[in-house]
Chains A and B, each alone.
Chain A
Amino acid sequence: EPEVTQTPSHQVTQMGQEVILRCVPISNHLYFYWYRQILGQKVEFLVSFYNNEISEKSEIFDDQFSVERPDGSNFTLKIRSTKLEDSAMYFCASSHGTSGATGELFFGEGSRLTVL
């Protein structure tokens, strides 16, 4: 069964360092998303991506964050200069249609980021 895969599963970094989280969405999906979940809090929307551009982003997704689909298969989230409060589980998701239409987002297992 097709699945969304994320790497790394866990990354520890120093404050101020750049981090890139990688995702391979399901191959025939067109919409890609990043969500995050700070420990003990709700899953929060960061950004959605369609047709090689950001379709929507939340207030969390500031200038420190960027997304890219460099080679037609990977979908990456870059945090330019990590802060302590960026420590969270980051989930990549993909869907064939918009979440509003189907809600059938397929999530990866997450990348846990720990910023020291």
Chain B
Amino acid sequence: AQSVTQLGSHVSVSEGALVLLRCNYSSSVPPYLFWYVQYPNQGLQLLLKYTTGATLVKGINGFEAEFKKSETSFHLTKPSAHMSDAAEYFCAVSDDSGYALNFGKGTSLLVTP
């Protein structure tokens, strides 16, 4: 079964600093990979996705992620953190059937002034 592992349950960065949230996947087939964000008291929102094609994908709010098959990774980055980026970030992979998403445990991003 497809799964993802997020390294680091909490990440703290200074405003303006690089954001790097790590995600590694395990999949027996070419994976479909996603990053979702959850702001306080809100539902999950799709940030970006990789299905096929270009391995560097750009999402909303200046985030991007690169699919690296050799490293089985799909890390999320943003060059310059903003206070409003503070949220919970979830990496996910589509399962075999295509009906379900398997989420990682999430990484809580804290942005300090």
Contacts and interface: CB of A to CB of B under 8 A. Distances in A.
Contacts of A44: 103
B100 A56 contact: yes
Interface in B25-39: 32, 34, 36
Contacts of B105: 41-42
Contact of B46 (A45, A55, A98, A104): A104
B98 A107 contact: no
Contacts of A45: 95, 100-103
A68 interface: no
B45 to A, nearest CB: 7
Given A44-B103, A56-B97, A109 B46 contact: no
Interface residues of B, number: 25
A20 interface: no
Contacts of B44: 43, 91, 93, 105, 107
B46 A4 contact: no
B51 A56 contact: no
B53 interface: no
Contact of B106 (A31, A42, A109): A42
B32 to A, nearest CB: 6
Interface string A88-116: 00010100001111111101111000000
Contacts of A33: 99-100
A108 B99 contact: no
Interface string B47-81: 00101000000000000000000000000000000
A91 B42 CA distance: 10
Given A4-B43, A43-B90, A109-B42, A99 B106 contact: no
Contact of B98 (A35, A42, A58, A100): A100
Given A43-B44, A99-B94, A100-B94, A105 B104 contact: no
Given A42-B106, A93-B43, A109-B42, 5 more contacts: A102-B49, A103-B34, A103-B101, A105-B44, A109-B41
Interface of B: 32, 34, 36, 41-46, 49, 51, 90, 92, 94-95, 97-106
